[in-house]
Amino acid sequence: MKKVSILGSTGSIGVNTLNVIRELKDEFKVTGLTTNKNIDLLEKQILEFQPEIAVVGDEDKAELLRKRLPSGIHCNVLSGEKGLLEAASKGDYDILVAALVGFAGLKPTIEGLKRKKRIALANKETLVVAGEIINNLARKRNSEIIPVDSEHSAIFQALVGESKESIFKIILTASGGPFRSATLEELENATVEQALNHPNWKMGNKVTIDSATMMNKGLEIIEAYWLFGLPPERIEVVVHPQSIVHSLVEFVDGSIKAQLSLPDMKLPIQYALTYPKRLRNNFVETNLPEIQNLTFYEPDYKKFRTIKLAYQALEAGGTAPCILNAANEIAVEKFLTNEIKFLEIPKIISEALERIPYERVKDIETIYECDRKTRGFINKIFT
């Protein structure tokens, strides 16, 4: 039995990871669960899966949860960033599912990597801001990073048995999000409700807004760069509205491999847990005649500026992707609270990339400093 600790167990990836484990009870045991604020759901998860450790972002809520748990349940409830780090650095697990949202996922993921564990990585921001540090650490400590992001899982699966020299390019598919066929004018007036209405995937708010701006694909380009080690010009994006082909690899002989299925995050999550094995499940049945059409076309880079901004940050290197990510996180928050309009998201990111000087990444402190600086810079614009 493999022991699994899930950072971010009440989010969309966390809940789906538990759905997978519930079906594969003989293979996996849950030893750690964490939430930022959702103690009601965490309580249910603790009662069902009986982990050794649970972490709540807020200490008051952690205390409330401790009082609510029945005496027969032996679960050590910790709190705050300190608790998260302790769960990652001392908890008993074979696989760490890194499913926290945004920059917050970085430190605990690093703790997991230091311990030669398998990291099932759903937190793409970790690689975006600190790809080089993460890769060096994984190499040095011999820990595995298996992508959970559906596109990167597809590429990872297509690359099983292939050598790096055989790869010509990677083609990331993008659904195009809710505004795929919207006009620039419609984007100008896009509401939060429209942006949260993703046609194919049910996900958390941050990644859903990122899908609407297509910054999600921008972040995934950078994520792919660090996971698969190809130069930016060999990482392409193609819009594929059906979300059946989850991504493709083109090899030097012209052959292309793709991974297909109905969109369901349980598949890439399960693969990250069971790799290199595949196990039977009852999650999806992909009926090709029912799907009928698979279509592909070029993204509209004028409508979705974020993709070019991500390439720009990747080419610039150093702290540029960290600036891109921090600016995006703040802009998305401000859009969700109606402080800014939809098209101001790329504007803010572009301005941050233009005005904040890039630095070489010496260590993790450089990343923290850059994240702080960028957030400060943007908050100043709005005060």
Nearest distance from C-beta of residue 175 to Mn ion, angstroms: 9
Nearer to Mn ion, 110 or 219 (CB): 219
Nearest distance from C-beta of residue 220 to Mn ion, angstroms: 6
Q: Which residue stretch of 149-157, 239-247, 265-273, 297-305 sits at the interface with Mn ion (rule: CB under 5 A)?
A: 149-157
Nearer to Mn ion, 149 or 250 (CB): 149
Residue 250 makes contact with Mn ion by CB under 5 A: no
Nearest distance from C-beta of residue 151 to Mn ion, angstroms: 5
Nearer to Mn ion, 43 or 149 (CB): 149
Residue 172: both structure tokens together: 């990331």
Nearer to Mn ion, 33 or 172 (CB): 172
Residue 43: both structure tokens together: 């309580």
Question: CA 186 → CA 123, 216, 299, 340, distances in Å?
Answer: 30, 20, 17, 15
Nearer to Mn ion, 83 or 177 (CB): 177
Q: Which residue stretch of 147-155, 263-271, 281-289, 345-353 sits at the interface with Mn ion (rule: CB under 5 A)?
A: 147-155
Distance CA 245, CA 260 (A): 4
Site string for Mn ion, 150-169 (x = CB under 5 A): xx------------------
Distance CA 315, CA 36 (A): 34
Site string for Mn ion, 113-142 (x = CB under 5 A): ------------------------------
Nearer to Mn ion, 14 or 91 (CB): 14
The phi and psi torsions of 32 (rounded to 5 degrees) equal -145, 140
Nearer to Mn ion, 36 or 175 (CB): 175
Which residue number places its CB atom closest to Mn ion? 149
Distance CA 87, CA 79 (A): 10
Q: Site for Mn ion (CB under 5 A): how many residues?
A: 3
β-sheet bridge partners, residue 34:
55
Residues 6+ apart with CB under 8 A from 31: 3, 4, 5, 51, 52, 53, 91, 92, 93
Nearest distance from C-beta of residue 149 to Mn ion, angstroms: 4
Among residues 149, 210, 250, 329, the one that binds Mn ion under rule CB under 5 A? 149
Residues 6+ apart with CB under 8 A from 356: 323, 370, 373, 374, 377
Residues 273 and 4: beta-carbon distance below 8 Å? yes
Nearest distance from C-beta of residue 12 to Mn ion, angstroms: 12
Residues 209 and 178: beta-carbon distance below 8 Å? no
Residues binding Mn ion (CB under 5 A)? 149-151
